[in-house]
Structure 1
Amino acid sequence: MRDSHFQPAPLSDPLGEVLHMLRLTGTLYCRAELTAPWGLIMPELVESMMFVIVTSGHGWVVMDGEEPLLVGQGSMILLPHGKSYRLLSNPDARAVPLFDLPVESISERYEIMRHGGGGEMTRATSGVVQFDHVAARRLVSLLPPVLRLDAWNDDGGHWLQSTLGLIAREASAMRPGGETVMTRLADVLVIQAIRTWLDEAPEANLGWLAALRDRQVGRALALIHRRPEQDWSIAELAGEAGMSRSAFSARFTELVGQPAAQYLSQWRLHLARAQLLETRESVGTVARRAGYQSEAAFGRAFKQFFGIPPGGVRKLAA
């Protein structure tokens, strides 16, 4: 969890808990000052999420397989899957690879880029973020290629503009704790865009997301997510959900797309893999935290699922 003082929410809000797990890492910001005509080719960034917020002027987001999207002042575009895209002054503008352009580094996580032909000015802030929790990654995998948020049109006022101003001030001042503040502000921007999609998109009421919203199955999922190391039986999960074993099993499989026992096993293994990559804890310790009584049983399950033994994961990442 991002905060040692975090108290779990009531089990009535499993989707809210997943949103809480959207803790960002590896955040980088770039403020772009672009004069028409201009064009940028943004590279593909594996397991990353990219966003662009236009603070003045306008630009076009062009992705393969998608209609060109006009982004006006106050609009935020979120690209959840790190796919390459072009950001252009007009759909026909010539584009230059991002990494070919010089930048002014303000701090380790903030830079300024100036580019273009000297015409009309567009200002934008872009960011690259990653998620470090299994639940967050699963949620992100369900998002569409592009999310749009026109926050300045909301009744809440200019909260997006204010948030960007805070990010810029923290980056330029480089005060102690500045990176932490910037990361939390990115949380606000990205999570608000995802919440808007969850509230409005019909596909957000399908599959795993529908299961999280379901009063009974959602409760069982929340328990699995909170205490994956517990030796849950299907009967126990059904009891917590207030259902018979057979009715629970059928409804869980219908909503989630796999049986509860299989979901629990795979959830544990994904958590274990993340811990192996992100910590230096022994394989035995990771196995116990994943709910396995023996390291050998954990190793067999891990290799069967991922095709590589637990120790091999760290070697590949090194």
Structure 2
Amino acid sequence: MSMSPRFLRDSTDQLSDVLRLVEVHSVISGGFGVAGAWSTRFELSSPLKFIAVVAGRATLTADGVRGPIDIETGDVVVLNRRSWATLRGGPAEPVRQLTLTEPNTFVRIDDGDDDVVIGGHIDANRAGVELLAAGLPPAVHVRASATDAMHLRETLERIWEEATARRVGADFAVNQHAQLLVLTVLRAHLAQADELPPGWLRLLTDDRLRAAVSLMHTDPGRQWRLDELARAATMSRTAFAERFRDVAGSPPLAYLSAWRMRLAQRALRDGDVRIGPLAVELGYTSESAFSTAFKRAVGVSPLNYRASVTPAERFVHENARSPREIVHRSPRQK
């Protein structure tokens, strides 16, 4: 098969392990520059939507998010499973109501650039979207001033410049900067470890558990015992099990089982993997035992899961949209 769980062997960078596994990538869906006072409301169709201010500032409100969020130059806000949002900017009345209905465009409204905003979404494979959404709060506000986000403002400026300059290779350049954007946002969020809820993101920041998690990621097919994992963490079995549950939100061996299932889903999306060898590689004694565990975790059998994968899912990185059109016009007004 073209992609095997072995692709994680010998890795000590656990965040990269997870991001590769779930095929995380960022899609820039458009942006606008505007002068004066303005406001716009939009529906959120993507589970993980982000809004970034390249220049100026804006105030964001969204359903289920406490209070308005002031977004300064270089800041990024990720909205997790929200249904609508409103953005406002500019110094004074009257407020221009913007209706930006054309997707995949970058719009400079009447040549304005006092406030420049870009938007997009964080995408992943089917398992990845659920994993990311479960690990993030309703809104993540990453400030350009944060220590782990020192290059965020520069990345946003480059995205806007490439998107609007229309040079040869702009699509490729914007896509590359977009990937750095999502990585920077996740790194900065991880740096706020004390505020993270129990889950996989918090687990990746726990120094006491790092060695044990590395063992499970490095060799997921091994029949790990609790005492072996506890020994790697230099903790007693009881202390290790309690700390792991508190940090990860699940027991160590349950985490290992879930990790195996995510590896299995990733392998099955390649289409040509054989179920029997995959089961053995992931530590199951038989194909039937693996199939039972997979159906219990995912809801369908491995064969049905593989059959349901679309070509777009198999080539998710190649099929990401690349919106780069720059338009100079006035918007529709309400």
Determine if the alignment matches structure 1 residue 127 to structure 2 residue 120: yes
Distance in structure 1 (CA, Å) of the matches to 2:26 and 2:76? 20
How far did 1:268 drift? 0.7
Distance in structure 1 (CA, Å) of the matches to 2:299 and 2:185? 36
C-alpha spacing 1:211/1:124, structure 2 compared with 1 (3 Å): closer
Distance in structure 2 (CA, Å) of the matches to 1:156 and 1:14? 17
How far did 1:63 drift? 0.7
How far did 1:64 drift? 1.0
How far did 1:18 drift? 5.0
Distance in structure 1 (CA, Å) of the matches to 2:8 and 2:218? 13
How far did 1:223 drift? 1.5
How far did 1:292 drift? 2.3
C-alpha spacing 1:120/1:299, structure 2 compared with 1 (3 Å): closer
- More contact order relative to length (CA 8 Å, sep ≥ 6): 2
Classify the secondary structure of the residue corresponding to 2:289. helix
Identity of aligned residues (%): 28
Q: Which residue of 2 aligns with 1:75?
A: 75
How far did 1:301 drift? 1.1
- Which structure 2 segments of 5+ residues have no match? 311-334
Q: Among 253, 265, 278, which residue is 2:245 paired with?
A: 253
Q: Which residue of 2 aligns with 1:175?
A: 169
* Partner AA of 1:32 in structure 2: F
> Can you list the C-alpha shifts for 1:263-306, whole angstroms capped at 9, x where unaligned?
21122112212332354423334434433242211111111222
Distance in structure 1 (CA, Å) of the matches to 2:121 and 2:154? 20
Query: Contact 1:238–1:245 (CA<8 Å) still a contact in 2?
Result: yes
* 1:1-318 aligned within 5 A: 10=12, 14=14, 24-25=24-25, 27-35=27-35, 36-46=37-47, 49-66=48-65, 67-81=67-81, 83-89=83-89, 101-102=101-102, 111-114=105-108, 121-132=114-125, 138=131, 140-151=133-144, 153=145, 159-168=151-160, 170-171=162-163, 172-175=166-169, 179=172, 181-200=173-192, 202-204=194-196, 206=198, 208-318=200-310
After TM superposition, the score normalised by the length of structure 2 is 0.70
Classify the secondary structure of the residue corresponding to 2:196. helix
> Can you list the C-alpha shifts for 1:210-236, whole angstroms capped at 9, x where unaligned?
544444432111221232122322233
> Can you list the C-alpha shifts for 1:177-220, whole angstroms capped at 9, x where unaligned?
x53x4344223323333333333363227555554444443211
Q: Which moved more, 1:213-222 or 1:246-255?
A: 246-255
- Which structure 1 segments of 5+ residues have no match? 106-110
Distance in structure 1 (CA, Å) of the matches to 2:200 and 2:147? 31
How far did 1:53 drift? 1.8
Distance in structure 2 (CA, Å) of the matches to 1:6 and 1:287? 16
Classify the secondary structure of the residue corresponding to 1:123. strand
* Partner AA of 1:240 in structure 2: A
* Partner AA of 1:173 in structure 2: R
C-alpha spacing 1:173/1:281, structure 2 compared with 1 (3 Å): farther
Aligned length: 300
Distance in structure 2 (CA, Å) of the matches to 1:237 and 1:158? 36
Classify the secondary structure of the residue corresponding to 1:308. coil
C-alpha spacing 1:24/1:248, structure 2 compared with 1 (3 Å): closer
C-alpha spacing 1:144/1:30, structure 2 compared with 1 (3 Å): same
C-alpha spacing 1:57/1:88, structure 2 compared with 1 (3 Å): same
* Partner AA of 1:145 in structure 2: P
After TM superposition, the score normalised by the length of structure 1 is 0.73
Classify the secondary structure of the residue corresponding to 1:173. coil
Distance in structure 1 (CA, Å) of the matches to 2:275 and 2:198? 36
How far did 1:95 drift? 6.3
Distance in structure 1 (CA, Å) of the matches to 2:291 and 2:283? 12
How far did 1:134 drift? 6.1
C-alpha spacing 1:156/1:236, structure 2 compared with 1 (3 Å): closer
